[in-house]
Structure 1
Amino acid sequence: MNTESAEKARTWSAVARRVAGHSLERSFYTDRNFFDLDIAAVFARQWIFVAVDAELPEPGDYATVEVGPYSVIVLRDDEEELRAFHNVCRHRGARILEAGNGSVGNLVCGYHKWTYGTDGALRHAPSQPPGFDRGCFGLKAVHVRSVGGLVFVCLAEEPPADFAEVAARVEPYLLPHQLRRAKVAARTDLVEDGNWKLVMENNRECYHCDGHPELLRSFFPTYGYTEENLPARLRPAHERYRRADAEMRETYERLGLPYALIEELDGRTTGFRIQRDALDLAGESFTPDGTAACRRLLGDLPTPRLGHLALHLQPNSWFHVLGDHAITFSVLPLAPDRTLLRTTWLVHPEAEEGVDYDLDTLLKVWTATNEQDARLVARAQQGVSSPAYEPGPYAETEYQVEAFCAWYIDRLREELQR
C-alpha cells in the first residue's frame, strides 16, 4: 500500500470510528491531513459566507477573501451585479489584488499589467503575438449570490443544489431589515488559536455562557435547554424568557414578521437554523440594559423591541439581526490550529456615528464575547492536542454541536467516496 492509500485508509478509519454524541478524535483538530481534507470536502464544495452587500455598494467595489489556499475576488461589476473570480492572473498566476477591499475601474495585475474588466474578461495583455485570443484568458469565475444582503461564494464546479431552497426559506426573515441597503459601521478580524471546528462548536452551545457576562445581560442563558433539563438556577431567567417570548410573538404577528424556528442543521447538504427570538431586559439590542445601540432602525422598522433574528449556516457562519443593527460572523481556516473570525456590524445607511450611535457601545458586547470565546477555543485546542485527550460526551444542551459534527462527518464521507 502506497503512502497516499495508507493515509486515506487511516482517515476512513477515523471517520468510521466517530461515536455520535461525543467530540471528535484528536486528529480531526490537529493533523494537517485533516485540515487539507476539510478544505477539499467542506470549504471548496459548500456555499461559504464571505461578505455583505454593504461592503460592495458601487460598481468596482471589491473585497478579497482567503479560503485555505484559494484567494477569491468578490466585486460589483459595471452593471451593479455581484461577481466573483479566483484572484489569479491568467498569464503566469500572479495574485491580482492584494488589499482586503477597495474600488477599481479594471482589475490590473501588478506583475505584467494584464488587465481585466469587472466582468472578468481580459481587456489588455501587452506584447502578445498576432492571433492571441484574449477571449480564452478571462478570469476563472466563482459562483456567488446574495441572500438578503449576505454574500456567499462556492468554489465547486457544481454547488450544492439545495442552497436555492434554503435561501428562499431564509430571505423572508432577513428582508424586512433591508441589509442590502445597510452600511458597515465596523469590521474586526480576530485570529483564534484553534481549529476552525472548535470555533464553530463553541458557537453552537451556551453550556459555557457563564463566561460571557456582557452578553448575558441581554441574551437569555437558557439557550439550548428544555423544560426537562433546565437547572433550578436558570428557572428565574426562564420565566422572564417565557414572558418576553409571548410579548415578542404578539409583536411579530402584528408586524407580519416570520419568527418560527426552522432547524435543519444536519441530514442535508446545506445545514441551517433560523429563529426570531426574545432578548432580556429592554429586549431591543445587545447592550448592558438591552436598549437599542442605534437610534436609526434597520429597514425603517417601527419599533426597536424585536429581540434578535438568529441564523446559523453550516459550515462557517452565524448572524444576529436586530431592529437597530446586525452582526455577521464568518469563520475561515488558516491552519490546523489557527482560524480567522471576521465580525461585521451593519447599521441603517443614514445612521451617523456620534449622532445615531456610539461605536464603542455598538461593538462592546460582541467584541468582549469574541475575545472570551477566543480564549476558550485556545484552551480547547491545547487540550485536544494532548496525547491524553479522548472524545468526551456532549451534554443535552450541546445538541447543536452534535448536529454540526454529524453534518461535518457526512461531508468527509462524501469526499472520501469520490
Structure 2
Amino acid sequence: MSVSAPAPRTQKGRLTAGLPAEALENAKELFNNRRAGYSLEAPFYTDPTIFKMDMEGIFSNHWLFAASIAELPEPGDYVTVEYGPISLIVLRNDEGGVNVMHNVCRHRGARVLTADSGTTGNLVCGYHSWTYNSEGDLIHASAPGEMNFDKSCFGLKKAHSRIVAGLIFVCIADEPPTDFDETSKIFEPYLAPHDIARTKIAYQQNIIEEGNWKLVMENNRECYHCDGHPELACSLFPTWGLTEDTVPPHLEEVWERNKESERALEERCRRYGLPYEVVEELDTRIAGIRISREPLDGEGESFSPDGHRLSKKLLGDLRDFRLGRCSMHLQPNSWFHFLGDHIVTFSVFPITEGKTLVRTTWLVADDAVEGDDYDVEALTHTWKQTNIQDRAFVELCQQGAASPNYEQGPYMKSEYQVEAFINWYTQRMQEHLA
C-alpha cells in the first residue's frame, strides 16, 4: 500500500477548534462590546482563549514583517521566525527571492531547523534525517521496507512571502489579504532610496517582554510616555503625536523648534526628490500603515545625543545625512526608522498571552567598517536603552491588567494612534469571527 499525504486544511479554525463554545461566545461578546476611545478589557491581555483567537485571526491571516533581505545576503542563508505555536523557515533561494516553509517535519512533526539563523544546503531533520531541498521538497527519507513510499507527497508545507524594498513579509493564510499590494505601493518610494539590499546587520537584539503583544504595540504607537526615554529625547522631538492645541507649556519652545526643523527638512526632501508627506491609514485598510519623513533634533542626522551621524557611510544613493527619520508603522507587528546613516527595524512576535518577543535590528551600509565607520555601542545605545525602558512600561501594564481592580481608561488625544491600532485589531477580529 502506498503512503499519500492528507488533504490540506484551511488556516481558519485550526487553533480555536478545541475551545469550548461558551468561551468562544464570551470572547465574541467582548469584541462586539469594545468601548471606543478606551483601553481594552482585561481579558484581551490575559485570557488564553483570546490569545489563541489572536493567533488565528491576526497572525495566521495577515502579512507579518519577518526580516530584511540584509539578514539573508546569500543563497542558503535562513532565519527562523516563531510566534505562538507557529515556526517558519525563511530561506534565501538561488534566484534572489525567499522561500518560506513551516518548520515542521512531515514525518512526526519535529522542528527541522532549531537555530535562529544560519546557512544551509539541504534541510535535515535531526530526528530521523528526513531531508528536504531548498524548495521544501522531500528528497531523502530512508526507511527499511518502505517500497511504495511516495516522497513527493510529503514536502514541507509552504507559506506566502513578499519582498518589498528589501523587507520580507510572510503570511500563512491560504488566501492572504490582497490590499497589501496597495500598501506596498505607498511605502516603497519612501524606503527605496535607503537601499536595504546594500546594507548589512550591525547588531540584532532579542528582548522578551512579560506582556501581551497588544500592549507592546500600544506602547509603540504613542509618545505620551516619552519623558521616560531620556536617551531618545535627545534626538526625537518629544512633541511627536501632539498638535498645536495640545502642546503643554513646558514643550512650547520644543514645538517651535520642531516646526522650524520640519520646514527645513521638507525643503531638503523637495531638493532631493524624496517623499516626506504623512500617509496615515492605520485603521482604514486591512494592511494598515502610517509613514512620513520627520525631522530629528540637534544636528538632525541620527539617534545620538547631539543628533550627529552614527555611521560615516550614507545609505544607498542618498546625498545628505540630514534627512531626519523616515518612520513607518505597519499593522500588526512592526515599526521602522530609516535614516541617512542607518536603519532600525522592529518586529513583534507573540509567545503566550503574557509574553512577547521584540526583535530589533540595526542595519548599516554594506561597505561600512566596524570600528572605523561606526561604533556598535554608540550606534545601538539609544534604542537599546529605549527598548529596556519600554519593556518595563509594558510589564507594568500587564501586571495591572491582571489585577481584579483593573478598569478601562480613556486614551488621551496624543494617543490617537493607539486607538487606531485597537480599532484596526477589533475590526479584523470581528471580521474573522463572523
- TM-score, normalised to structure 2, is 0.94
CA displacement at 1:317 relative to structure 2: 0.3
* Alignment coverage as a number of residue pairs: 416
Match of 1:382 in 2: 399
More displaced 10-residue stretch of structure 1: 131-140 or 384-393:
131-140
Match of 2:272 in 1: 255
CA displacement at 1:267 relative to structure 2: 2.5
Match of 1:172 in 2: 189
Query: Which string of whole-angstrom CA distances, capped at 9 and with x for unpartnered residues, describes residues 294-335 of structure 1?
Result: 001111311110000000001110000000000000111111
Match of 1:67 in 2: 83
CA displacement at 1:131 relative to structure 2: 3.4
More displaced 10-residue stretch of structure 1: 126-135 or 326-335:
126-135
Say if 2:39 is the partner of 1:30: no
Match of 1:353 in 2: 370
Q: Quote the Cα distance in structure 1 between the aligned partners of 2:426 and 2:65.
A: 20
Match of 1:41 in 2: 57
Say if 2:88 is the partner of 1:88: no
Q: Quote the Cα distance in structure 2 between the aligned partners of 1:411 and 1:335.
A: 20
Q: Which runs of structure 2 are paired with 1:210-225 in the superposition (5 Å)?
A: 210-225=227-242
Q: Quote the Cα distance in structure 1 between the aligned partners of 2:47 and 2:245.
A: 39
Say if 2:281 is the partner of 1:272: no
The answer to whether the 8 A contact 2:97-2:163 is kept is no
Say if 2:39 is the partner of 1:19: no
Amino acid at match of 1:238: W
Q: Which runs of structure 2 are paired with 1:99-110 in the superposition (5 Å)?
A: 99-110=115-126
More displaced 10-residue stretch of structure 1: 123-132 or 316-325:
123-132
Q: Quote the Cα distance in structure 2 between the aligned partners of 1:79 and 1:238.
A: 49
CA displacement at 1:3 relative to structure 2: 7.4
Q: Judging changes above 3 Å, is the alpha-carbon distance between structure 1 residues 154 and 3 closer, same or farther for their aligned structure 2 residues?
A: closer
Q: Quote the Cα distance in structure 2 between the aligned partners of 1:166 and 1:79.
A: 25
Q: Quote the Cα distance in structure 2 between the aligned partners of 1:203 and 1:244.
A: 23
Q: Quote the Cα distance in structure 1 between the aligned partners of 2:352 and 2:91.
A: 26
Query: Which string of whole-angstrom CA distances, capped at 9 and with x for unpartnered residues, describes residues 218-264 of structure 1?
Result: 10111111112121211101111111111100110010111111000
Q: Quote the Cα distance in structure 2 between the aligned partners of 1:20 and 1:242.
A: 31
The runs of 4+ residues in structure 1 deviating greater than 6 Å are none
The answer to whether the 8 A contact 2:325-2:339 is kept is yes
Unmatched segments (≥5 aa) in structure 1? none
The answer to whether the 8 A contact 2:24-2:49 is kept is no
Q: Quote the Cα distance in structure 2 between the aligned partners of 1:248 and 1:34.
A: 44
Query: Which string of whole-angstrom CA distances, capped at 9 and with x for unpartnered residues, describes residues 105-164 of structure 1?
Result: 111111111111111111112126333322211111110111111111101111111001
Match of 1:55 in 2: 71
Amino acid at match of 1:82: V
Q: Quote the Cα distance in structure 2 between the aligned partners of 1:300 and 1:216.
A: 29
Say if 2:114 is the partner of 1:98: yes
Amino acid at match of 2:309: A
Q: Which runs of structure 2 are paired with 1:9-408 in the superposition (5 Å)?
A: 9-127=25-143, 129-408=146-425
The answer to whether the 8 A contact 2:91-2:134 is kept is yes
Query: Which string of whole-angstrom CA distances, capped at 9 and with x for unpartnered residues, describes residues 181-227 of structure 1?
Result: 21000000001111111110000001110000100001011111111
Q: Quote the Cα distance in structure 2 between the aligned partners of 1:409 and 1:131.
A: 50
Match of 2:5 in 1: none
Q: Quote the Cα distance in structure 2 between the aligned partners of 1:88 and 1:141.
A: 11
Match of 2:428 in 1: 411
Query: Which string of whole-angstrom CA distances, capped at 9 and with x for unpartnered residues, describes residues 388-418 of structure 1?
Result: 111011100000000000001112111211x
Amino acid at match of 1:265: L
- TM-score, normalised to structure 1, is 0.98
Over the matched positions of the two proteins, sequence identity in percent amounts to 54
Match of 1:5 in 2: 21
Instruction: Find the residue that maps to 2:58 and give its secondary structure.
Output: helix
Q: Quote the Cα distance in structure 2 between the aligned partners of 1:267 and 1:175.
A: 24
Q: Quote the Cα distance in structure 1 between the aligned partners of 2:237 and 2:303.
A: 11
CA displacement at 1:169 relative to structure 2: 1.3
Q: Quote the Cα distance in structure 2 between the aligned partners of 1:280 and 1:15.
A: 41
Q: Quote the Cα distance in structure 2 between the aligned partners of 1:114 and 1:374.
A: 40
Q: Quote the Cα distance in structure 1 between the aligned partners of 2:367 and 2:397.
A: 42
Query: Which string of whole-angstrom CA distances, capped at 9 and with x for unpartnered residues, describes residues 31-64 of structure 1?
Result: 1111111101111111111111011111100000
Instruction: Find the residue that maps to 2:112 and give its secondary structure.
Output: coil
